[in-house]
Amino acid sequence: MAEPVVRIPDAKVALSTASVYPESTATAFEIAARLGYDGVEVMVWTDPVSQDVEALRRLSDYHGVPVLAVHAPCLLITQRVWSTDPWVKLQRARAAAEKLGASTVVVHPPFRWQRQYARDFVTGIWRMADETDVRFAVENMYPWRYRDREMLAYAPDWDVTKYDYRHFTVDLSHTATARTDAMAMIGRMGDRLGHVHLADGNGSAKDEHLVPGRGTQPCAELLTGLAGSGFDGHVVIEVNTRRAMSAAEREADLAEALAFARLHLASPSTSPSSSPAPSSPAPSASPSAAPSSAKRSGPSSARSSRTGSRGMRPS
């Protein structure tokens, strides 16, 4: 019988620059290089360096850390970053990704009060995806809660699987806050799951972004499934280190998160001369995994089926 070996997955593990907050974008590149991350995801926010493509290129070159993804400025605190027009923000995010060699732009669904943007969002994302090889991966969100009240803050919906997008980002801190079944959502995303924000949560009304393994979300199960399915997107560590008492404590948390991701992404296999080892459970790889009731506000469902699988390959 052949000795088992560990297959190195195609998926790269990146550090979100948001994970070092309140430290700077520049600090994130430095930590990513020191800890051995495969790259970074740049959260475009109020830090001027995060908005400056040339500054980001210099940081990437200096530290030898590629920019793998750009997170468009979709947060409440970034309403005026790069423009007050949300479509301009996405155009600039795409341009930044193209110039930096990043394969993915992460985007949140609109806030409900962005009515025109929300009305056109599904078709607009399809249109922008057709204009570039960069993936626009729409991220699942959650209802806002205060005491016993719940407010639906996002439109068309915080559950992005209800609509027809070419690519999705799944965030496991957001599934915890939404109190939804993360693996069921991943199953609905199917092979249109193109990007992962790896974090944990306990179901608090707050978006916790805990180090994976410290909450209740199926972080290990997700990663093991991705390894078995041949997932070739990026896994991004997006955790909250705000309460770290020192730089060393922050770095220890980020090292732990990276080790967790590497451990569970490495899938056991056997040598080619032997029978293949049983694969771990994986999310469905069929575009039909999206719910049949998904609203086709964008281009035709026929085109969605035709391009969904192709779009999962990195440019």
184: nearest Cα among 222, 211, 136: 222
Q: Round the average pLDDT of the chain to a whole number and report it.
A: 86
When comparing pLDDT for 290 and 2, which is higher? 2
**DSSP per-residue codes, 153-167:** -BSS-SSGGGB--SE
What pLDDT score was predicted for residue 6? 60
pLDDT tens-place string over residues 248-289: 999 999 999 999 999 999 866 543 333 333 333 334 333 333
Cβ-Cβ contacts under 8 Å for 161 (sequence gap 6 or more): 140, 168, 185, 188, 189, 290, 291, 294
Measured from the Cβ of residue 116, the count of other Cβ atoms closer than 10 Å reads: 10
Mean pLDDT, rounded, for 229-257: 95
With bands split at pLDDT 50, 70 and 90, how would you rate the model's confidence at 5?
Answer: low
Check residue 63 and give its pLDDT. Answer: 98
Res 162: pLDDT: 96
**What residues contact 251, with CB distance under 8 A and at least 6 apart?**
31, 34, 35
Question: What separation in angstroms does the CA of 203 have from each of 47, 106, 217, 259?
Answer: 30, 23, 9, 24
Tell me the percentage of the chain whose pLDDT exceeds 70. 82
Among 166-180, 210-224, 269-283, where is mean pLDDT lowest? 269-283
Instruction: Name residue 231's amino acid.
Output: F
* Spatial distance between the Cα atoms of 223 and 211, rounded to a whole number of angstroms: 14
For range 52-60, the mean pLDDT? 98
What is the rounded average pLDDT of the residues 233-262? Answer: 97
Which pLDDT value is given to residue 276? 34
Residue 232's pLDDT band (cuts 50, 70, 90): confident
Cβ(295)–Cβ(200) below 8 Å: no
Q: By the 8 A CB rule, do 210 and 173 touch?
A: yes
In sequence order, which residues have a C-beta less than 8 Å from that of residue 140 and are 6 or more positions away?
Answer: 158, 159, 160, 161, 168, 169, 170, 171, 174, 175, 178, 185
How far apart (Å, rounded) are the C-alpha atoms in residues 262 and 143? 31
Residue 47 sits at the vertex; the CA angle it makes with 257 and 113, to the nearest 5 degrees, is 90
- In this predicted structure, the answer to whether residue 300 has a pLDDT above a threshold of 60 is no
Give the pLDDT of residue 109: 97
What is the pLDDT confidence band of residue 1, given thresholds at 50, 70 and 90? low
Please write the tens of the pLDDT for every residue from 218-230: 999 999 999 888 7
Residue 295 and residue 34 in contact, taking contact as beta carbons nearer than 8 Å = no
Comparison of pLDDT for 205 and 58, the residue scoring more:
58
- pLDDT at position 308: 37
Q: Is the pLDDT of residue 61 over 60?
A: yes
**What pLDDT, in 10s, does the model give residues 30-42?**
999 999 999 999 9
Rounded (5°) CA angle 139-143-147 = 150
| Whether pLDDT at 208 is above 90 | yes
Quote the pLDDT of residue 268: 61
pLDDT at 171 over 70: yes
> Radius of gyration over alpha carbons of the chain, in Å?
19
